[in-house]
Chain A
Amino acid sequence: MSNRIIKKTKLAPQVYDFVVENQQIASRAKAGQFVVVRIDEKGERIPLTIADIYEDSFRMVVRAVGKTTYQLCMKKENDFLADVIGPLGNPSEIEHFGNVMLVGGGVGIATLLPIAKELKNHDNKLFVVLGGRSKEYVIMLNEFEKLADQVIITTDDGSMGIKGVVTDGMDLVVSKAKIDVAWAVGPTVMMKFCSLKAKEMNLKIWVSLNPIMVDGTGMCGACRVTVDGQMKFACVDGPEFDGTKVDWDELLVRLVQYRDEEEQSLKKFLESAGDLSWL
């Protein structure tokens, strides 16, 4: 359980790919599960998805959005993380469906990768839609190209693929192929619109929710979300749910509940961190 960072690679501005040594997690993890990381003694517990699984290590892709993720992205190879807990959450429910559409945005693309691999192991045809603000944010493209039967890229500024959003990509896929089930992982707003779109298409869609968490084991209720009118704890009942049944607006509001504290914390950190333009 050394939690040593074996490898660190930059994927996009402020987005890093880590391989972390942890035999326990490597030996158990399945697609769709996550870990909780605490960097040091004073650190917060933050959830991060397991992006790939190797012999004695696993992979995670992190975007710097606040104090902890900034700190994490500044770690170097051979640094250690104080605590890595996992694998947590339920694995994705994967079987042979036929034609599967996978929609990814931002670091959600990383979450999608193990799901895509597992779907491929079950002989599914994969239709992948990847979105980003611009070209450099469309991460892990070549890995998906190896797995997918079709890859569609959308960017906000049109610097790569279609100029537009991932739901445009969804339309395109559905116009050409009969899709049996879909997954969408990315920013919450994106997952909301993908779910609305899927509902229109009468398509079952799985989403991986990312509410604020503390323990990740069902003990605190911080991660509660409303799905189909019921209170669910995303860490133990999810993180994947039927996107058409999620109360998205409630989740979006709950995600900003610590905005003031987060800004205070990041500001204080950045004042002491020096030049971070390289990040």
Chain B
Amino acid sequence: MKPPTKKVPMPEQEPEERIKNFFEVALGYSEEQAIIEARRCLQCPSHPCVSGCPVGIDIPGFIKKIKEQDFTESARILKKYNNLPAICGRVCPQEVQCEERCVVGKIPGSEPVAIGRLERFIADWEATNVKETKSNPTSSKGKKIAVIGSGPAGLTVAADLAKMGYEVDIFETLHKPGGVLVYGIPEFRLPKSIVEREVKYIESLSVKIHLNTPVGKAISVEELLNDYDAVFIGVGAGTPKFMKIPGTNLNGVYSANEFLTRVNLMKAYMFPEYDTPVKKGTNVVVVGGGNVAMDAARSALRLGAKNVIVVYRRTEQEMPARREEYFHAVEEGVKFKWLTQPLRYIGDEKGRVTGVECISMELGEPDESGRRRPIPIEDSRFIIETDMVIEAIGTDANRFLLSQFKGLALNKYGYIVTDSETGATSLKKVFAGGDIVTGAATVIEAMGAGKRAAYWMDKFLNGEYDPWR
């Protein structure tokens, strides 16, 4: 029998069902489905897929073991490269990474091997079938490392260094570890129990996570530099940007960060059982075209909105959101208004937002990002009635910590300048990685940066290589 040309479809909750709950949309492969999908992999000797993965997972290797029904071994291979496979299998933009390069996908009429879905399958299979193998490595090296921030970058650095025998302390300002994985990405795409599971694994490596500890406030930078042999900064790009158009401070106008933090980290979708409230809009406008905008729009629907309109100043082609999530949003009934730019918010006498005045755009010459620049069309203003707006137009570098690292080189956007290979910053024994270096990017890139930094931090601490010499 010839293997199918298309990916084995992912079982999913039906759109009309899932918009009423926050449970995960994609349900995961069964063993049979995973094996059928694994058979589609050609086990290419040149395996171009691997070079598309920022952490270089042995993709044919772990897929082969699925084909052979040796899931335990498959999991072992995965974990060698990726400390957070259940997360990456769910949220990686595979279509532009590993799967983009897959040979099978290049065959006309064929889809690439569903590498992400298989990765997820193995990670979930391991979680339900393998009894905790507590590794508890001892801190044999006698050296201490401080990691600031418990997002994917920080968790990865910590896990890798702990496995090498270093004593690692993570400092996190929020009351839960995980960074964007817990406060940003919604439950229906990444259940928080999975983040908890992966964090537990990392703690089982003897990594200590100090929650509620804003570095720069609760612990000074000097203290870290004195007490630790090396420091990793992985504080993310958490400062929300606003368009700063008139009416931004009307009630009902949210940053995506606030809206998603209330919903995800604080579980406002279960208000009043959980204490944190969030407004439930009826006609919601979401501004932006990335993953964050999709997450905000789909969360608003699940909170009970009748209409959710995503307003984006370019078109469907330029939209940076993952295709899969865009299609999910469309299926669920989110509407899109392309080539549209908000100009101001209109409010009522009680200071609540009631409308967004917009202007239509057309695409001109390409700009520095290579995408065609949107230009306003004169006399094309119109108003969208709304009772809630969510701005999802990006984030900036976190503010309160970096200024306290005297001599830390930042670029003009406020991100940390590092050596791209090692992650070394301008300050001796300080490394950095993730969104605070690249600007808002992806989970797997943050992990990749964490992995590289861990490797070079070890070399530095062993005295094999000094990036500052």
Contacts and interface: CB of A to CB of B under 8 A. Distances in A.
A33 to B, nearest CB: 8
B344 to A, nearest CB: 15
A68 B240 CA distance: 27
Q: Is the interface of B mostly helix, strand, loop or mixed?
A: loop
A65 to B, nearest CB: 14
A86 B242 CA distance: 26
A32 to B, nearest CB: 13
Given A236-B400, A261-B271, A265-B271, A253 B175 contact: no
A187 B462 CA distance: 57
Interface string A250-263: 10011011100110
B277 A83 contact: no
Contacts of A134: none
Given A24-B219, A258-B277, A268-B272, A221 B257 contact: yes
Contact of B175 (A38, A224, A236): A38
A83 B248 contact: no
Contacts of A162: none
Interface in B233-292: 238-240, 242, 244, 248-249, 251-252, 255, 257-258, 261-262, 266-267, 271-277, 279
A85 B214 contact: yes
A24 B217 CA distance: 10
B173 interface: yes
Interface in B196-216: 211-214
A226 interface: yes
Contacts of A45: 175, 266, 276
B272 A265 contact: yes
Given A214-B266, A215-B174, A218-B398, A86 B218 contact: yes
B350 interface: yes
B399 interface: yes
Contacts of A1: 212
A44 interface: yes
A42 B240 contact: no
B3 interface: no
B272 A24 contact: no
Nearest to B396: A218
Contact of B255 (A86, A220, A253): A220
Given A236-B399, A254-B351, A219 B240 contact: yes
A254 B277 CA distance: 14
B439 to A, nearest CB: 16
Contacts of A4: none
How many chain B residues sit at the interface, stated as a range, is: 35 or more
Interface in A133-174: none
A9 interface: no
Contacts of A264: 272
B258 A231 contact: no
B214 to A, nearest CB: 6
Nearest to A247: B249
Nearest to B259: A220
B218 A219 contact: no
Contacts of B240: 219-221
A265 B249 contact: no
Contacts of A262: 277
Contact of B398 (A28, A44, A87, A219): A219
Interface string A232-276: 000010000000000000100110111001101100100000000
Contacts of B217: 28, 86-88
Contacts of A214: 258, 261-262, 266, 276
Contacts of A268: 272
The CB with the most chain A CB atoms within 10 A, among B211, B258, B274, is that of B258
A189 interface: no
A225 B351 CA distance: 14
B347 to A, nearest CB: 9
B13 to A, nearest CB: 26
Contact of B239 (A28, A86, A218, A257): A218
Given A24-B219, A84-B212, A85-B214, A215 B261 contact: yes
B218 A231 contact: no
A222 interface: yes
A99 interface: no
Contacts of A28: 217-220
Contact of A85 (B175, B244, B257): B175
16 contacts: A24-B213, A38-B175, A67-B275, A83-B211, A84-B212, A85-B174, A86-B214, A86-B217, A86-B218, A214-B258, A218-B400, A219-B261, A236-B399, A250-B249, A257-B279, A265-B272
Given A28-B220, A214-B266, A257-B252, 7 more contacts: A83-B211, A83-B212, A217-B398, A218-B398, A221-B257, A224-B249, A265-B271
